[in-house]
Structure 1
Amino acid sequence: MFRFCCAAIACSVALLWADAAAPADPPAWHVGEAARVFHPATARNWRGARTQALVTTIWYPVDPASPELAHDIGAPGRPLFHGHPAIVDAPLSGARVKYPLLVLSHGTGGSADSLDWLASALAAQGYIVAGANHPGNNASEPMTRDGFMLWWERATDASEVLDGVLADPMLGPHVDRDRIGAVGFSLGGYTVLELAGARTNLPAFERFCSGPQADAICHPPEAARIHEDPHAPPLTLATLSPETKASRDRAGDSYRDARVKAVFAIAPALGEAFDSHSFADVDIPISLLAGEADVTAPVDTNIHRIAGLLPKASVTMVPGASHYVFLDTCLPGVMDRLATICKDNPGVDRDAVHAQTAQRAIDFFATALPASGA
């Protein structure tokens, strides 16, 4: 069961999830799934990524008469996760003229598909959800040092995905441009906070990680997957490329996308990269959610720190849940091989956490992105 608490004074007393969340409504739609490859005007080649385009998965509502087909998530012949049944390239439902749009951002070394559980649940309730694999930092190809280190650049990916979906001939005309939000997990949670207007204090984060108080957020396990050039000189500020130095210089810029009207951040990371001034320009609804047993993005230095800097944000904590419970549910054949991301703490039901988290997101966006006349 979830524990929900609002950071506002009026909601300072913790409420049990059963009292705070209504039962899930039955899905109104089936789920369609489409792939797009967006080519932004600003190249990502300086990140060293093998694929510089924005390879994007889009989930969207489809008429219930169209039969969904079961599928799993992962490379062909090597599936990792259970996938929600979907219809590939089916027509968008004609039940409504316009649908709200959510841009989705995955965590370090992950993929948009690793959040299929959430995107599908949102699509079944009438949302178009679009998530790209961030170049240089995804599960589909070797991770690069720039893709791993220059987190603020991910917000530009998300904004370019919004551009691409809005220009898409099938989907763009049916997007309600007054009802656009963002949802992200882990480093993706940080990314969507940037879209809301948060500013990064890179020197503060580097001081934190070089000091005695440094914790697990300074050494994410995915760092071991960074592809290193064996002939490259040791990494120092002096050996950074001009493009990397230029990116670091703009780390503290605002990446606010005014089209984004609400943000739902799951297990948001890099809390120590924010300070008392970081959220001065954030004036849209924010909902934060994480597991109480998260040791990968420790709660004190991440979600609780962010919540303290965002007193109007709502906060939901999941008892017993660790960081990777918010990835898709693993297939039995990979459970032992990928135990770090697949096995949850005793008593934690990943599918139940997914269902309740999805309902929390649905309820949040229903309020934060109300339909016309609502």
Structure 2
Amino acid sequence: MTRLLPVLFSALFLASGVCGATPDPDESEAAVKPVGMTERDFTDPERTEWGGDEQRPLRTTVWYPTDATQDSFEVTVGNPEDPLFVAGRAQGNPSLSESEDRYPLVLLSHGTGGAGIHLMWLATVLAENGYIVAAVNHHGNTSAGENYAPEGFLLWWERTRDLSAVLDHLLEDSEFADRIDPMRVGAAGFSLGGYTVISLAGGLTSLEAFEAFCDGPERDATCDPQEEFPGAPSAMAEVLNEPHVQESLAEHDSSFRDDRFAAVYAIAPALGGAFTELGLMPIVIPVGILGAANDDIAPVETNARHFADHIEGAELHVLEDAGHYSFLSRCTDSGRERLGMFCRDGGGSRDDIHQNAADRVVRFFDQHMN
């Protein structure tokens, strides 16, 4: 899962574009497939924030096709003066393209402790190919929030409900509602986000199975506390008897399937040990899975291949020169110097890995939603 130090990962946004983003005045205005980018401060009225009484925040970034030719911005992650990652390029808040009446929609789910902006490499390629794309920051489990919360790290299934709530909002959004084809909605996720979309497709989580897996000989790094919040288990112990935690735990093995989603794609998915063979049998929609051969965080055999072996019709591809963190944003020179393993890619080029993965995701959704 994505183990990122929270102080290093902040995707900050201006009202008209992005902070940590700079316009390129020399960029050609003749971009073949320009991409727009905007934000929404959604909330979930059905759930409260962790440790508070306000509605649960669901800040969401949206990318989409546009006909505009204004300057695009380079979006970076970290200190704008010395960024650690380059997320991609987009135009700030242009209008949606008029080339289609309605567009397919793909929702994105980031890895644990990360942020939706780290999947911009995938979002922009999807948008260039005619998709509206929305990435939510999962409350309590995102570096784009004010604080981490143990519930955000350990009550994984709550992330699934985030995606359903974001879809509710987008289907009522003044700008996007009438331009989304509700019959062509999909979701993709990385690492814990891969778990999230498997759950969204109907996979049933089993804490008992995960405990047995972690006590067994096949246990992997998904069993361990995450480095950006290593104290999550002890912090959870302090709130374990709170009503909101007990209510969530009581529902952990429920189905969070959302029938509005037509297909899902899991990239380097984690928590394979939390799903039994029977728990994956309810999934009937198309599922694509991408593993990384050099993944030592969510190893292919206990995660990607486990899902592929037990989800009927699932499509599995394994990238030979990729590691787990290859699916984060592209590292800057400063990032490579300071972040070590988070910028190593198992032998391949991160740009090439991103392009390979994005092409596969686009083909998958084109096949199963168009």
Report the TM range for the smaller structure's normalisation: 0.7 to 0.9
Report the secondary structure of 1:84's partner residue: strand
Whether the 8 Å CA contact 2:281–2:310 is kept in 1: the answer is: no
Q: Deviations over 1:120-148 (max 9, x none)?
A: 11111111111111000011233211110
Whether the 8 Å CA contact 1:288–1:303 is kept in 2: the answer is: yes
In structure 2, do the counterparts of structure 1 residues 48 and 151 end up closer, same or farther at CA, with 3 Å as the change threshold? Answer: farther
RCO higher in structure (CA 8 A, sep ≥6): 1
1:39 and 2:43 correspond: yes
Q: For the residues of structure 2 that align with 1:228 and 1:161, how far apart are their CA atoms? A: 28
**Residue equivalent to 1:20:** none
**Residue equivalent to 2:195:** 190
Whether the 8 Å CA contact 1:264–1:287 is kept in 2: the answer is: yes
Work out which of the residue numbers 104, 108, 119 in structure 1 matches 2:123: 119
In structure 2, do the counterparts of structure 1 residues 124 and 163 end up closer, same or farther at CA, with 3 Å as the change threshold? Answer: same
Q: Deviations over 1:265-322 (max 9, x none)?
A: 1011100111121122211111000101111001111111111111411100000311
Work out which of the residue numbers 80, 84, 95 in structure 2 matches 1:80: 84
**Residue equivalent to 1:102:** 106
Aligned amino acid, residue 368 of structure 2: A
In structure 2, do the counterparts of structure 1 residues 100 and 323 end up closer, same or farther at CA, with 3 Å as the change threshold? Answer: same
Q: For the residues of structure 1 that align with 2:231 and 2:163, how far apart are their CA atoms? A: 22
In structure 2, do the counterparts of structure 1 residues 30 and 220 end up closer, same or farther at CA, with 3 Å as the change threshold? Answer: farther
Note the 1:248-327 alignment, pairs <5 A.
248-327=249-328
**Residue equivalent to 2:140:** 136
Report the secondary structure of 1:39's partner residue: strand
Whether the 8 Å CA contact 1:49–1:135 is kept in 2: the answer is: no
Whether the 8 Å CA contact 1:101–1:127 is kept in 2: the answer is: yes
1:56 and 2:57 correspond: no
Deviates further, 147-156 or 49-58: 49-58
Report the secondary structure of 2:72's partner residue: coil
Work out which of the residue numbers 176, 179, 184 in structure 2 matches 1:179: 184
**Residue equivalent to 1:13:** none
How far did 1:221 drift? 3.5
**Residue equivalent to 1:5:** none
Q: For the residues of structure 1 that align with 2:290 and 2:83, how far apart are their CA atoms? A: 28
Note the 1:131-280 alignment, pairs <5 A.
131-140=135-144, 141-222=146-227, 224=229, 226=231, 235=237, 239-280=240-281
In structure 2, do the counterparts of structure 1 residues 50 and 207 end up closer, same or farther at CA, with 3 Å as the change threshold? Answer: farther
How far did 1:28 drift? 5.6
**Residue equivalent to 2:23:** none
In structure 2, do the counterparts of structure 1 residues 173 and 115 end up closer, same or farther at CA, with 3 Å as the change threshold? Answer: same
Report the secondary structure of 2:47's partner residue: coil
Q: For the residues of structure 2 that align with 1:174 and 1:252, how far apart are their CA atoms? A: 35
State percent identity of aligned pairs.
Answer: 40
How far did 1:51 drift? 9.2
**Residue equivalent to 1:365:** 365
Aligned amino acid, residue 135 of structure 2: G
Report the secondary structure of 1:103's partner residue: strand
In structure 2, do the counterparts of structure 1 residues 293 and 220 end up closer, same or farther at CA, with 3 Å as the change threshold? Answer: farther
Q: For the residues of structure 2 that align with 1:278 and 1:310, how far apart are their CA atoms? A: 9
Note the 1:310-349 alignment, pairs <5 A.
310-346=311-347, 348-349=348-349
**Residue equivalent to 1:65:** 69
Whether the 8 Å CA contact 2:38–2:93 is kept in 1: the answer is: yes
Whether the 8 Å CA contact 1:48–1:136 is kept in 2: the answer is: no
In structure 2, do the counterparts of structure 1 residues 239 and 54 end up closer, same or farther at CA, with 3 Å as the change threshold? Answer: closer
Q: For the residues of structure 1 that align with 2:110 and 2:321, how far apart are their CA atoms? A: 22
In structure 2, do the counterparts of structure 1 residues 49 and 300 end up closer, same or farther at CA, with 3 Å as the change threshold? Answer: farther
Report the secondary structure of 1:70's partner residue: strand
Q: For the residues of structure 1 that align with 2:227 and 2:296, how far apart are their CA atoms? A: 14
Q: For the residues of structure 2 that align with 1:160 and 1:135, how far apart are their CA atoms? A: 13
Deviates further, 63-72 or 46-55: 46-55
Report the count of equivalent residues.
339
Q: For the residues of structure 1 that align with 2:147 and 2:230, how far apart are their CA atoms? A: 7
In structure 2, do the counterparts of structure 1 residues 49 and 77 end up closer, same or farther at CA, with 3 Å as the change threshold? Answer: farther
Report the secondary structure of 1:338's partner residue: helix
Deviates further, 205-214 or 319-328: 205-214
In structure 2, do the counterparts of structure 1 residues 179 and 75 end up closer, same or farther at CA, with 3 Å as the change threshold? Answer: farther
How far did 1:212 drift? 4.6
Whether the 8 Å CA contact 2:35–2:66 is kept in 1: the answer is: yes
Report the secondary structure of 1:46's partner residue: coil
Structure 1 unmatched runs, 5+: 1-26
